[in-house]
């Protein structure tokens, strides 16, 4: 199974485990990697609720921050419900595909631009998985309505708006994108 297909399948399973009717207003994808090594990526898939945003309102500088900043996401949004990519099937599939794409390197190799290429490839995998959640109807099936998928990388905060914009229909992320500095 291709790595993209694996991430999409597991993302659909994870969303299927979310509690319906719990006020979820966003699915979260925290894009990360083990020890910040792009050869070992994973995405922590979770969610945040209206109750979480309300609880953060007193601590945040404004309503946007309380609702959309990952600094205020609850554990279900920050750590996610489940990680995808470092699971045995995901790790094996990722490495095989990275090798076939000429992106893999060993610790004693000079990575050159393969480091950045691995990061961008994984970003594309995550964006495509989020788009698939929308296109397949999985989010609506589980939550009863469309909600955005917020993609973020805590080590590259600038990527958050681009990734989230690419992964969602514009009307779902209009409020989120209002703070885009770009």
- Beta strands 24-33 and 149-152: pairing type? parallel
Please tell me the pTM assigned to this model: 0.96
Taking CA atoms, 174 is separated from 38, 124, 160, 177, in Å, by 30, 21, 14, 5
Q: Residue 180: what pLDDT?
A: 80
What backbone phi and psi angles, to 5 degrees, belong to 109?
-90, 155
Total domain count, the chain? 1
Model pLDDT for residues 16-53, shown as the tens digit of each residue = 999 988 999 999 999 999 999 999 999 999 999 999 99
Give the range of the structural domain holding residue 67, as residue numbers without chain letter. Answer: 3-177
Model pLDDT for residues 65-99, shown as the tens digit of each residue = 999 999 999 999 999 999 999 999 999 999 999 99
Say if residue 1's pLDDT is above 80: no
Judge whether 11 lies within some domain: yes
Judge whether 182 lies within some domain: no
Judge whether 62 lies within some domain: yes
Model pLDDT for residues 101-153, shown as the tens digit of each residue = 999 999 999 999 999 999 999 999 999 999 999 999 999 999 999 999 999 99
């Amino acid at each position: 199974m291709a790595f993209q297909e694996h991430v999409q399948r597991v993302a659909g399973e994870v969303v299927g485990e979310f509690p319906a009717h719990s006020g979820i207003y966003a699915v979260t994808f925290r894009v990360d990697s083990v020890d910040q090594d792009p050869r070992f990526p994973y995405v922590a898939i979770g969610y945040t609720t209206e109750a979480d945003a309300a609880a953060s309102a007193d601590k945040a500088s404004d309503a946007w921050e309380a609702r959309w900043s990952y600094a205020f996401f609850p554990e279900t949004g920050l750590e996610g419900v489940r990680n995808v990519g470092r699971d045995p099937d995901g790790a094996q599939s990722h490495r095989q595909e990275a090798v076939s794409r000429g992106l893999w390197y060993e610790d004693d190799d000079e990575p050159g631009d393969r480091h950045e290429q691995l990061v961008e490839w994984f970003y594309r995998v995550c964006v495509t998985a989020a788009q698939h959640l929308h296109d397949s109807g999985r989010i609506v099936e589980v939550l009863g309505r469309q909600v955005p998928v917020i993609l973020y990388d805590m080590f590259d905060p600038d990527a958050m708006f681009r990734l989230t914009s690419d992964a969602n229909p514009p009307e779902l992320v209009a409020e989120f994108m209002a703070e885009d500095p770009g």
